[in-house]
């Protein structure tokens, strides 16, 4: 009986300092049913070789490269996982899409919003796929649920938001872009709070003004490990994002939201209880809108696949052209860049100071 053909998309990984954390998702995790790792590329050949040696027993051998051009010249590789640093990433993406390859990459997409917008528009013109984890190509299940409640319960205008994400790191300087205050401004916001920035741009719209505070408590890097970002949205809503590498409470990467609307409040992952890896959502409204009635929890939901998760299946479908590059349900270049402009505003604040 003939073997069943492997229909997964062949993928080459580029940039393994951060990308090494993604390899496991492709080989053993949620990406495995959809993608097949065929090559590793990094300027440090020993890093790529070390990762290749740790692949599971029985995994087919992967090619090792130090030059991305080798991958672009290979017609057997239709897709690239690009996990280099964000500075100058648009230029690399331009090379990749002009070589006829599709791309999945990570947040933050670029440090230059104008360069990002230009290359994302070029990709759409060429019919090439460029996906990232935040903002995701299609709304994450928790964001989609929030948007449904806003519509179905007539919550009205956005008023305010408080967002929080924390983890416990005690980092040492390593000479990477993580050590550069210009390339990595207010590091916890840039590296961790970017998920929340992208969520809020989807929910509340473009940001008109920002102000950020940062401190260094435990890190040995020259960049911050504790930061708070204040936001003023174009529609008049106000918000804050707190992100920290300093809190060791076992409740890491929770991405908490408290969203106040004119006629109700939506909570995501708030309070001490937690439903495993799922996002917990609750909608609170007044029992009588006209008389400011008592508080009621009118809806609850638990959803899998929150913001920041890589949508591997959607990427594979897009590479097969089962999802057209110009599908109107996809996140637009302008929506991706809106979050980058918040980061640009933060960077400008530090340069001025």
Q: Is the pLDDT of residue 6 over 60?
A: yes
Q: Are residues 297 and 321 in the same domain?
A: no
Q: Does one domain contain both 170 and 108?
A: no
Identify the pLDDT of residue 328.
85
Strands across the sheet containing 63-65: 63-65, 35-41, 9-14, 79-82, 102-105, 130-132
pLDDT at 291: 65
Rounded percentage of the chain residues whose pLDDT exceeds 90: 80
Residues 347, 350, 352: CA angle, nearest 5 degrees: 110
CATH of the domain at 157: 3.30.360.10
Confidence of residue 3 (pLDDT cuts 50, 70, 90): low
Q: How many CB atoms lie within 10 A of CB 252?
A: 14
Mean pLDDT of 72-96: 96
**Any domain includes 80:** yes
- How does pLDDT run across 250-264, given as a tens digit for each residue? 888 889 999 999 999
In a domain, residue 332? The reply is no
Residue 207 class from Cβ within 10 Å (0-12 exposed, 13-18 middle, 19+ buried)?
buried
Q: Is residue 342 part of a domain?
A: no
Residues 130 and 233 in one domain: no
Both 173 and 118 in one domain: the answer is: no
Assess whether 161 and 123 both reside in one domain. Answer: no
**Rounded-to-integer distance, Cα 343 and Cα 339, Å:** 7
Query: What pLDDT was estimated at residue 307?
Result: 79
Residue 350 belongs to some domain of the structure: no
pLDDT at 325: 78
Looking at the structure, tell me whether residues 163 and 190 fall in a common domain: yes
Alpha-carbon gap, residue 274 to 280, rounded angstroms: 7
Mean pLDDT for the chain overall: 93
Query: Is the model's pLDDT at 298 over the cut of 90?
Result: yes
For the chain, how many structural domains are there in total? 2
State phi, psi for 136 to the nearest 5 degrees. -70, 160
Tokens 């435990």 belong to which residue? 218
Q: Mark whether 94 and 219 lie in a shared domain.
A: no
pLDDT mean over 235-240: 98
171 and 121, same structural domain? no
Is residue 73 situated within a structural domain?
yes
Report yes or no: 264 and 246 within 8 Å, Cβ to Cβ.
no
Asked whether residue 290 carries a pLDDT value surpassing 80, the answer given is no
At residue 353, the pLDDT reads 58
Give yes or no: residues 222 and 317 share one domain: no
Same domain? 121 vs 216: no
Distance in angstroms (rounded) separating the CA atoms of residues 146 and 298: 13
- Whether 292 shows a pLDDT value over 80: the answer reads no
Q: Predicted confidence band at 204 (pLDDT cuts at 50, 70, 90)?
A: very high
166 shares a domain with 89: no
Which range (13-22, 76-85, 114-123, 292-301) has the least confidence? 292-301
Q: How confident is the model at residue 89 (pLDDT cuts 50, 70, 90)?
A: very high
Two tokens at 185?
Answer: 């401004």
Q: Which domain holds residue 87?
A: 9-137+311-327
Q: Are residues 152 and 170 in the same domain?
A: yes
* Residue 249 predicted with pLDDT over 60: yes
**CATH number of the domain to which 60 belongs:** 3.40.50.720
Residue 272's pLDDT band (cuts 50, 70, 90)? confident
Main-chain dihedrals φ then ψ at residue 177, nearest 5 degrees: -65, -15
pLDDT of 351 higher than 90: no
Q: Is residue 347 part of a domain?
A: no
Inform me whether the pLDDT recorded for 183 exceeds 60. yes
Residues 116/124, Cβ–Cβ less than 8 Å? no
């Amino acid at each position: 009986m003939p073997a069943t053909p492997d229909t997964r998309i062949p993928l080459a990984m580029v940039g393994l300092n951060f990308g090494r954390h993604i390899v496991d998702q492709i080989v053993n995790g949620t990406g495995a049913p959809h993608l097949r790792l065929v090559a590793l590329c990094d300027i440090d050949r020993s890093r790529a070789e070390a990762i290749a040696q740790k692949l599971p027993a029985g995994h087919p051998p992967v090619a090792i490269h130090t030059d991305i051009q080798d991958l672009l010249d290979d017609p057997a590789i239709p897709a690239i996982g690009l996990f280099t640093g964000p500075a100058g990433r648009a230029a690399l993406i331009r090379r990749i899409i002009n070589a006829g390859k599709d791309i999945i990459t990570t947040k933050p997409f670029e440090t230059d919003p104008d360069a990002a917008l230009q290359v994302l528009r070029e990709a759409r013109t060429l019919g090439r796929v460029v996906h990232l984890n935040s903002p995701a190509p299609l709304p994450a299940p928790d964001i989609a649920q929030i948007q449904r409640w806003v519509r179905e319960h007539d919550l009205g205008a956005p008023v305010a938001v408080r967002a929080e994400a924390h983890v416990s790191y005690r980092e040492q300087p390593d000479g990477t872009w993580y050590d550069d205050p210009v390339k990595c401004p207010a590091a916890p916001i840039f590296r961790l709070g970017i998920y929340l920035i992208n969520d809020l741009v989807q929910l509340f719209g473009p940001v008109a003004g920002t102000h950020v505070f940062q401190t260094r408590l435990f890190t040995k890097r020259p960049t911050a490990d504790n930061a708070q970002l204040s936001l003023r949205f174009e529609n008049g809503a106000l918000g804050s994002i707190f992100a920290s590498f300093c809190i060791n409470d076992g409740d890491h990467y929770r991405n908490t939201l408290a969203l106040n609307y004119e006629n109700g409040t939506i909570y995501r992952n708030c309070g001490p209880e937690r439903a495993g890896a799922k996002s917990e959502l609750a909608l609170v409204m007044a029992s009588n809108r006209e008389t400011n009635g008592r508080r009621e929890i009118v809806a609850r939901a638990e959803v899998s696949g929150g913001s920041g998760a890589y949508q591997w299946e959607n990427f594979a479908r897009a590479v097969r052209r089962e999802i057209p590059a110009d599908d109107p349900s996809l996140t637009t270049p302008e929506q991706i860049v809106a979050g980058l402009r918040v980061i640009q505003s933060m960077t400008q604040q530090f340069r001025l100071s």
